[in-house]
Amino acid sequence: MKISLNWLKQYVALEAPVDEIAHALVFLGFEVEGIVRTGAPKLDHVVVGEILTRVRHPNADKLSVCTVDVGPAGGVKTIVCGAPNCDAGRRVPVALPGAVLPGDFEIKQSKIRGQLSDGMMCAPDELGLGTEHAGLLLLDGAPALGTPINEVLPSGDVVFDLEITPNRPDALSHIGIARELAAWFRQDLRFPEIKFNDLVTETARPDILSEVRVESPADCPLYIAILVTGVKVGPSPAWMQERLKAVGLRPINNLVDVGNYAMLELGQPVHVFDAKKIGGRRIVVRRAADREKLVTLDGKERTLSSRMLVIADADKPMVVAGIMGGEKAEVDSTTTDVVLEAAYFRPQSVRWTSKRLGLASDSSYRFERGVDPHSTFEAARRTIDLILETAGGHVVGPLYHVGGDRPWKREITLTSDYVRRRLGFPLSDDEMRNALKLLNLAIVGESRKETGPEWTVDIPSYRSDLDRPIDLVEEVLRLYGSDRVPPAPCIGPALLDGDDDPVVVFNRKVSAYLVGQNYHEVVNYTLRSANELKVWVSRAAAQELALANPFVEDQSHLRPTLLLGMLESLKLNQSRGVEACRLFETGRVFVERDGVAHECAAVAFLNCHNEKDRAWLPRAAADFYTAKRHVEILAGHAGVELGKSALSPVSGAYPDWQEDHSASAGEMTDGWAARFGLVNLAMLRAAGIEGQVWAGIFVILPEKLPADSIRRRYQPISLFPAALRDIALVVDASRHADDVRRTLAQVAQAAAAGAFTVEQIKVFDVYKGQGLPEGKKSLAFSLAFRSAVRTLTDEEVNAAFTKIKQDIAADGSISVRV
Amino acid sequence: MQATIATILAKAQTEFSALQTRAEFETAKARYVGPNGEFTALLKQMGSVPKDQRPALGKLINEAKVRLQSLLDAALRTIADREIAAQLGPAVDPTLPSPDAGPGTYHPLTLVREEMCRILRRAGFSVADGPEVDTEFYNFDALNTPPEHPARDVQDTFFFPENARFGNVSKRVPEERYLLRSHTSTVQIRTMLKRPPPIRIVSPGRVFRRDTTDATHSANFHQLECLYVDRDVTVRDLKALLDYIFAALLGPDTKTRFRPHYFGYTEPSFEVDLSARHLPKVNKEWIEIGGCGMVDPSVFEAVGYDPEVWTGYAFGMGLERLAMLLYGIDDIRYFYQNDLRFLRQFA
């Protein structure tokens, strides 16, 4: 909101420099977003002069030597000038020696290229009037020579652009801000004197206005309408125009300007109707009919609905209540009689309508935040004064005043001890009393309690945001100065509440592992596009993970996997010619299952092998088993042993993975899922990504992450030697190694018969081809047998091994290779 | 005999020096000192040598034996050296770069978050976490933002359709809607509902606003919030925490100050300004860094804490903004592009 300093000074004596006032505003809670100086600052020794002659400077092409008449006191001066428009006959501002222009630029008599110059003719920027520097400021209207320039130029003003927080609707006006500054600078507030005393001498004019009716008192608890006849439309006075222009409003005519002025002065939006345009001589405050139409002042036709409040005449809406007037009932140059409206509209109603119509105004902004209904009549009286002062006319009775009969009364009980205990530093009772008094928070009662005084504080109607003792603590601190809170050591109870959240701990662990594996952490947006989900994940995901109100089209869905963002990062680096092969990310993903979404913690990595990335010494590329090991370790940090759960090759359910080159586990049955392997090559190419991408993801429901690490129990280790045997098994080429290993483990366990343990069964060779039947492969395992209590003999080991070789072939699907 | 010895030694010298492998060595060795070796045969002849010649000849043979052994040792050493040399390959050029992947890196947002968490941990705060998808109750109602409040506008917050279902995000009342949390204060509410006071938590996390993406705005960004609830917590304690945090982060000459502000969930409320030396690309004395205040009694009522007994403070700030200040980054979008030339700078 724009606030003019000159305007403020009408209500409060502000002698402090601008930066001090700005500081006061900030520490009163009104952030200063900008300070603009308008008009000319006070300039001594700068007067109106007329150029008499102009000749070229003998020693410089671009300079002129002029004689300038600066009036009877100064006479005629010779001045060197570089401006292109210093033509004879022009009247311009002349800074005489002794003048100090903005930027501390002092004017002295001087020699310029050998030519004496006795002052300076000024361009607008040199006088502090904006940034224009193309030529001298030309003064219109032939002002008298020698006139001090401030009498000719618009006077200077300072305009603060303030951010008013939503709890302070009372500060959305010059009076409101003046009231706060008066408190800060310990000055009196001079409220404008109100002359209109509700006395109406004229007889009623039912031929102009016969009735004011409020049909929706819930949306409009107070409506005041006052008829003024015999007004004369014309321009508003210069002082009013200057004020309005300073805060960015365009003057229209005296009646429109008065309305704006009153609102900006007092914070109460008012509306001025041309009384003759009120059809049926009736004002009706009512809900609009559905599909009812109104052309608002901005020239747009609005279609209204039955939840919207309008001010109507006998048959048509004239104004969208509290938001914007219609074209039809506006004041124009022929207006002679007007109706002033001052009302209180329910904030929620105005907000709803304003949002629905996409129509906001200074008026709706104030009504939405809440104007003070108990000041509305006062504002109406002030506006009447302004109308009579600027447009003449007579107030005609009766004064219509509908509703608004609930008186204001609010008191808060506060003890000084409470304030001190909340603030935590000593503030005397008197300092508190003083702060409250300065803010017009009158102490209307005081009693003594054990800990100090207890006050009854009367809250003025415009401060309805103050409701509880804690609200007054803020007021006291605001006036005391929140930047004066004294420093203190940071002391708290020594013990922590507990451990960091398991999700946080998990993210730290997996990140540390992947950083240690030379991966770079990336961070991507949570929101992805519908199309991306359909292509990379599933139609169901695209349906269940959609936002109701996305802001942009390509960010309309929750991410079901981190992979999408990481591939985008990979692509960005590739397109910028930056070699990037190892990326990882942690974060929340959203997994859809059977129409229900689940928010999961997730970690994902990718390792890209790009033929184009050359090295003087080539290294083996990552492969499926690189990804597998990573995922096993990541799962381990979540307390999940991947080795203990079934791994299945990915199917068409996961189009982002390359079939036959990727695996999947978990499937959320126990609250987690893992997938890893090769990212679908065709999809990568379609996405414009080069190379092969080996990747892995692990997701888990946050509540499944273990809160405490499990305390392990020590298992004794055998100090006796192991007996090693190798066995090669021939199976169908399609059979999974782990299936064979598990079968072998069972058989071996049985063969050992509890006499010793089968410590390890490890596959060390996989062979297909010559020497084996078509469609078969050979898996070579090494077995380690060991006893905890003795050295095994060859005989017993051989006996067991023979039995293994017999038993393993029992079901016919496995044969021992010899 | 003497001549024979000399011949054998000469021959051995020539032959041994030509040996390439251990196998050749063993064969050669056998040829001389094996059971059927030439030199062994010589030794066997000693028995037939006349007694008087034996000492001299014995000495001669001993010398020859020592000599032969040293020839064998030398040959074996040469072979072993050659074997090692073969394993070693050519000499390295120490100036060539390693072809292995360079060091992994943490994202700058992670670095800043973890640093803040470490600093706060020293002050007794533990890290709390909560869902990014949350509900109107946790995001608004419990934080003293009533239903008609402008902050709840669909203009500013991402909502989910009425029929959206999230299996593991709990609703307070069945009719409330799911949304993407617009601040991490939701975690404060969830934590307070779960545990009795005192509470001392920091909740860093991702938040969402319906906003145009530009150099300083992003559809999602990260916040970090602290909450302390105990008996007799004061404004001064809050100031003390902030002074501590920023001095720990930026050095002892760092200052903070409070400006009055308004948040629905704190009373009084402040914006926090920071003044620190050596911040890159900062040319004013005070820069806004976050918001804070004393927990509003209505928030305590919403979570079932007695506001007559319990008091507390809360502080929140944007992590991107902090990272931008610390590192001198001038565009928030860099955090989400993940250009490796950017990411590598913070390792």
Q: Average pLDDT for residues A38-64, to the nearest whole number?
A: 88
Between β-strands B199-208 and B126-127, what pairing exists: parallel, antiparallel or unpaired? parallel
Q: What is the CA radius of gyration of chain B?
A: 41
Give the confidence band of A709 by pLDDT, cuts at 50, 70, 90.
low
What SS3 state is found at B6?
A: helix
Residues of chain A contacting B125 with CB distance shorter than 8 Å = 496-497
Residues of chain A contacting B92 with CB distance shorter than 8 Å = none
Give the confidence band of A517 by pLDDT, cuts at 50, 70, 90.
very high
Topology (CATH level 3) of domain A46-151: OB fold (Dihydrolipoamide Acetyltransferase, E2P) (2.40.50)
Nearest by CB to B167, from A548, A555, A596: name it.
Answer: A596
Distance CA(A270)–CA(A261), nearest Å, equals 10
Residues 343-362 of A with CB under 8 A from B: 347-348, 351, 355
Residues 226-255 of A with CB under 8 A from B: none
- CB-based contact, B240 to chain A, within 8 Å: yes
Q: Any idea how long chain A is?
A: 818
Cβ–Cβ contacts within 10 Å for residue A34, how many?
9
Contact residues for A513 (Cβ-Cβ < 8 A; gap 6+): A633, A634, A637
The architecture in CATH of the region A411-483 reads 2-Layer Sandwich (3.30)
Nearest by CB to B220, from A501, A526, A578: name it.
Answer: A526
Q: Which ranges in A517-560 belong to alpha helices (H)?
A: 530-536, 539-544
Distance CA(B270)–CA(B268), nearest Å, equals 7
Contact residues for B318 (Cβ-Cβ < 8 A; gap 6+): B221, B222, B223, B290
Tens-place pLDDT, residues A768-792:
999 999 999 999 999 999 999 999 9
Of A83-87, A302-306, A382-386, A561-565, where does mean pLDDT reach its minimum?
A83-87
The two tokens of residue A413 are: 């009980």
Residue contact A496–B125, C-beta within 8 A: yes
- The residues spanned by each domain of chain A are 2-39+157-184, 46-151, 211-403, 411-483, 502-704, 723-816
The two tokens of residue B176 are: 């409330």
Q: Which ranges in chain B belong to alpha helices (H)?
A: 2-17, 22-33, 38-45, 54-88, 108-122, 136-139, 185-194, 235-250, 297-303, 319-327, 334-337, 340-343
Residues of chain A contacting B198 with CB distance shorter than 8 Å = 493, 497
DSSP A444-466: EEEEEETTEEEEEEEPPGGGTT-
Torsions phi, psi for A561 (to 5 deg): -150, 150
Per-residue confidence in pLDDT tens, chain B, 347 aa: 778 888 888 888 888 888 888 999 999 889 888 888 888 888 888 778 888 888 888 888 888 889 889 989 999 999 999 888 888 888 899 999 998 888 999 999 999 999 999 999 999 999 999 999 999 999 999 998 877 777 777 678 999 999 899 999 989 888 899 999 999 999 999 999 999 999 999 999 999 999 888 888 888 999 999 999 999 999 999 999 999 999 999 999 899 999 999 999 999 999 999 998 878 777 788 999 999 999 999 999 999 999 999 999 999 999 999 999 999 999 999 999 999 999 999 97
Are A401 and A227 in contact by the 8 Å Cβ rule? The answer is no
The two tokens of residue B126 are: 């533990």
Residue contact B159–A549, C-beta within 8 A: yes
Cβ–Cβ contacts within 10 Å for residue B205, how many?
25
Distance CA(A479)–CA(A28), nearest Å, equals 7
- Return the amino acid letter for A610: N
DSSP A726-758: EEEEEEETTS-HHHHHHHHHHHHHHHHTTSSEE
Cβ–Cβ contacts within 10 Å for residue A561, how many?
25
Residue A487 to chain B, least CA–CA distance (Å)? 6
The two tokens of residue B290 are: 């976050």
CA-based nearest residue in chain B for residue A368: B150
Q: Any idea how long chain B is?
A: 347
- Residues pairing with B287 in the sheet: B274
Segment holding A349, helix H or strand E: helix A347-357
What SS3 state is found at A430?
A: helix
What SS3 state is found at A62?
A: coil
Distance CA(B237)–CA(B249), nearest Å, equals 18
- CB-based contact, B131 to chain A, within 8 Å: yes
Residues of chain B contacting A617 with CB distance shorter than 8 Å = 96, 99
- Residues pairing with A784 in the sheet: A724, A760
- CB-based contact, A423 to chain B, within 8 Å: yes
Contact residues for A178 (Cβ-Cβ < 8 A; gap 6+): A8, A10, A11, A12, A189
Q: Average pLDDT for residues A759-767, to the nearest whole number?
A: 95
Residue contact B109–A616, C-beta within 8 A: no
- Angle made by CA atoms A554, A556, A560, in degrees to the nearest 5: 100
- Return the amino acid letter for B128: A
Distance CA(B184)–CA(A618), nearest Å, equals 47
Are A306 and A290 in contact by the 8 Å Cβ rule? The answer is yes
Distance CA(A176)–CA(B186), nearest Å, equals 35
Tens-place pLDDT, residues A103-130:
888 999 888 888 889 999 999 888 887 7
- CB-based contact, B166 to chain A, within 8 Å: yes
Domain A2-39+157-184 CATH (choose: 3.30.56.10, 1.10.10.10, 3.30.930.10, 3.40.630.40): 3.30.56.10
Are A524 and A585 in contact by the 8 Å Cβ rule? The answer is yes
Query: Residue A154 pLDDT > 80, yes or no?
Result: no
Distance CA(B137)–CA(B130), nearest Å, equals 14
Residue contact A702–B106, C-beta within 8 A: no
- CB-based contact, A617 to chain B, within 8 Å: yes
Q: Write down the pLDDT at residue B77.
A: 93
Interface with chain A: mutation pick from B105, B259, B313, highest number of A CBs within 10 Å: B259
Q: Write down the pLDDT at residue A104.
A: 84
Interface with chain A: mutation pick from B92, B340, B342, highest number of A CBs within 10 Å: B340
Residue A617 to chain B, least CA–CA distance (Å)? 6
Between β-strands A157-163 and A317-320, what pairing exists: parallel, antiparallel or unpaired? unpaired
Peptide linkage before B268 cis (omega within 30 of 0): yes
If 0-12 CB within 10 Å is exposed, 13-18 middle and 19+ buried, where does residue A571 land?
A: middle
If 0-12 CB within 10 Å is exposed, 13-18 middle and 19+ buried, where does residue A557 land?
A: buried
What SS3 state is found at A310?
A: strand
If 0-12 CB within 10 Å is exposed, 13-18 middle and 19+ buried, where does residue A332 land?
A: exposed
The two tokens of residue A653 are: 């359910």
Query: Residue A119, by phi and psi: left (phi above 0), alpha (psi -120 to 50) or beta?
Result: left
- Return the amino acid letter for A626: T
Between β-strands A657-665 and B266-275, what pairing exists: parallel, antiparallel or unpaired? unpaired
- CB-based contact, A490 to chain B, within 8 Å: yes
Distance CA(A472)–CA(A469), nearest Å, equals 5
- The residues spanned by each domain of chain B are 2-88, 108-346
- CB-based contact, B333 to chain A, within 8 Å: no
Residue B334 to chain A, least CA–CA distance (Å)? 10
What SS3 state is found at B123?
A: coil
Residue contact B153–A581, C-beta within 8 A: no
If 0-12 CB within 10 Å is exposed, 13-18 middle and 19+ buried, where does residue A579 land?
A: middle
The architecture in CATH of the region A211-403 reads 3-Layer(bba) Sandwich (3.50)
Residue A680 has, within 13 A of its CA and on its CB side, a CA count of 18
Q: Write down the pLDDT at residue A611.
A: 80
Distance CA(B205)–CA(B318), nearest Å, equals 10
What SS3 state is found at A182?
A: helix
Q: Which ranges in B89-131 belong to alpha helices (H)?
A: 108-122
**DSSP conformational letter for A202:** B
Interface with chain B: mutation pick from A599, A603, A616, A669, highest number of B CBs within 10 Å: A599
If 0-12 CB within 10 Å is exposed, 13-18 middle and 19+ buried, where does residue A767 land?
A: middle
Distance CA(B96)–CA(B93), nearest Å, equals 6
Residue of A784, A804, A770, A769 lying closest to A723 (CA atoms): A784
The residue that leads in pLDDT, A198 or A740, is A740
* Residue carrying the six token digits 């003792």: A469
- Return the amino acid letter for A187: Q
Residues of chain B contacting A480 with CB distance shorter than 8 Å = none
The architecture in CATH of the region B108-346 reads 2-Layer Sandwich (3.30)
Residues 301-320 of B with CB under 8 A from A: 311
For chain A, percent of residues with pLDDT exceeding 90:
75
Topology (CATH level 3) of domain A723-816: Alpha-Beta Plaits (3.30.70)
Are B269 and B293 in contact by the 8 Å Cβ rule? The answer is yes
Residue A181 to chain B, least CA–CA distance (Å)? 15
Residue contact B96–A616, C-beta within 8 A: yes
Give the confidence band of A645 by pLDDT, cuts at 50, 70, 90.
confident
Residue contact B99–A618, C-beta within 8 A: yes
The CA–CA distances, whole Å, from A737 to A623, A624, A763, A780 equal: 18, 15, 8, 10
What SS3 state is found at A528?
A: strand
Check whether domain A502-704 has CATH 3.30.930.10, yes or no: yes
In Å, the largest CA–CA distance within chain B is: 130
Q: What is the CA radius of gyration of chain A?
A: 43
Contact residues for A380 (Cβ-Cβ < 8 A; gap 6+): A224, A226, A268, A270, A340, A342
Q: Write down the pLDDT at residue A605.
A: 98
Q: Write down the pLDDT at residue A42.
A: 80
Distance CA(A571)–CA(A577), nearest Å, equals 10
